[in-house]
Amino acid sequence: MWQWRARCETVAAMQRERWRVVAWCEACRSAFPVDLAKVARLKGPQSSLWNRRQPCLRQGCAGQMRFEATIPGLYGRRVLDAQDPATVPPRPTLGELAARNRQKPD
């Protein structure tokens, strides 16, 4: 998911790419649509929903809600939990992989 986070880190980017976001409670299984325009207005367009939790909105539920997104072109919702793209190590090139394989003793 870090690739998607790199593409749509902010609420403004999610709006631009037409992501549909819900807050989903792990305890009571309630789901509430997230108004990205309202989040941008209240928290700022550069705010992020990645790796965030909030108390459940359902009265009497003590659960935590996580954010999930429906990404255009993909089936189903994806949990907005992902490593910061800046901390993901680069993938080795084919040449680097071939060099490693040549160095391994048989």
In tens, the pLDDT along 19-66 reads 999 999 999 999 999 999 999 999 999 999 999 999 999 999 999 999
| 3 state DSSP class of 86 | helix
Cβ pair 65, 54 in contact under 8 A: yes
pLDDT at 87: 67
In tens, the pLDDT along 6-23 reads 888 899 999 999 999 999
The more confident residue out of 105 and 48 is: 48
22: which residues sit within 8 A by CB, 6+ positions away? 31, 32, 33, 34, 67, 68, 69, 70, 77
Our count of domains for the chain comes to: 1
User: Which residues form the domain of 31?
Assistant: 2-103
pLDDT at 8: 87
